[in-house]
Amino acid sequence: MDAEKWFWWEDENKLVFNVLGTPSSKKTQFLKPYGNQLKISVAAAAEKGKATKHLIKFLAKEFGVRQNDVELVFGLTSTNKQFRIHNPKKIPKVFEQ
């Protein structure tokens, strides 16, 4: 895997990507790739995993999947996270490279 690559397919059904989250933002949205991570602003406070739970709901909606299909690989209480999306139905524009 390329050191600057922030997302990759494990197989044709699992998209994996690294996130640099910014909690307590005005709006939850994809920003832009930053090195080997995708910056995402999160409109939830970083308290007891609240921002991560909010981010999982956002990602489920953006990828057209159930929340159970959004797997947090690591980073529950960190701004550095990795997610695995199982069987994404939609691919957000930021992933089209």
Rg (CA), the chain: 12
CATH of residue 12's domain is 3.30.1200.10
pLDDT tens-place string over residues 32-81: 999 999 999 999 999 988 999 999 999 999 999 999 999 999 999 999 99
Confidence of residue 97 (pLDDT cuts 50, 70, 90): low
Q: Which of 15, 11, 2, 21 is nearest to 64 (CA)?
A: 15
Q: Do 18 and 6 form a contact (C-beta atoms < 8 A)?
A: yes
Q: Is residue 2 part of a domain?
A: no
Number of domains in the chain: 1
Identify whether 13 is part of a domain. yes
Q: How far is CA 47 from CA 41, 55, 75, 76, 78, in A?
A: 15, 13, 13, 11, 11
- Tell whether 29 is covered by a domain: yes
Pick the closest to residue 88 from 16, 4, 5, 2 (CA basis).
16
In this prediction the pTM is 0.94
Whether 70 is covered by a domain: the verdict is yes
- Please report whether residue 1 resides in a domain: no
Domain that residue 58 falls in: 7-95
Confidence of residue 3 (pLDDT cuts 50, 70, 90): low
Q: What is the spatial distance between Cα 12 and Cα 8, in angstroms, rounded to a whole number?
A: 10
Is residue 45 domain-resident? Answer: yes
